[in-house]
Amino acid sequence: MAQKKITALIFDMDGLIFDSERVVQRSWNRAGEVLGIPKMGEHIYHTIGFNVVRREQYFRTAIREDFPMDRFNELTRAFFKEIVASEGLAMKPGVKELLAYAKENGYKLAVASSSRREHAVNLLTEAGVYSYFDGSVFGDMVKNAKPDPEIYRTACEVIQAVPEETVALEDAPAGVKSASGAGLRAIMIPDLVQPDEETMKDVWKKYNTLLDVLELLKEQEADNKRNMSGGKE
């Protein structure tokens, strides 16, 4: 059976829109130094895509039961802001080009990020891309974190998108599993973590950058025009 036309795109944020995972990792390392926990940044490889609740559960299991989550969050947010203020926060290649093309051609657009709403909206607004999106769902707006499919199901509801016609853009295995479980096609553009064999079962396409997704949409639009003209060039 032929796959349905893509009519909507749902974007992850950290590691997909922004080159932020490495900044987060540096912030964790600095917070770990203050708290006496060495190499704290190494834990990011196991928690990419987690919201704050699921991340706390991981820390209390992997590091220690009395892990000081509130203090850790306070420190990492401060260090993250400090790094971004001095160095800026780079966007991934193709973000604005893809958003502009998709918006111009009538695709529904949403963000589905595990980050806190306030933090995410600030970053997206400052980068000048928040207005492209028709809706958004963040980690503190859902009960279950990625890889649970709740966030993608909710995002589809918010923008009234049909899951079978929607593509999720993700950089991490947890996000890919979340999207696939919600019935979306998942495109993975790996950042810090490469997909293993199990993750690849849920990946529809694997690309290097969002510019590859832009080309995919352009091909679809060209096919649509050919079909409308009866196959004539």
Q: What share of the chain is helix, strand, coil (3-state, %, to 5)?
A: 55, 10, 35
- Cα 36 from Cα 75, distance rounded (Å): 13
Q: Which residues are catalytic?
A: 12
- Which residues lie closer than 8 Å to 3 by C-beta, 6 or more apart? 185
Cβ atoms of 164 and 4 within 8 Å: the answer is yes
**Stretch (H or E) spanning 188:** strand 185-188
* Tokens representing residue 228 in the block: 């409308």
Asked if 7 and 40 touch (Cβ cutoff 8 Å), the reply is no
Token match 């709403």: residue?
A: 117
What contacts 49, CB < 8 A, 6 or more positions away?
12, 114, 145, 146, 147, 170, 172, 173, 174, 175, 178
Side by side, the strands of the sheet bearing 8-11 are: 135-138, 108-113, 8-11, 166-170, 185-188, 205-206
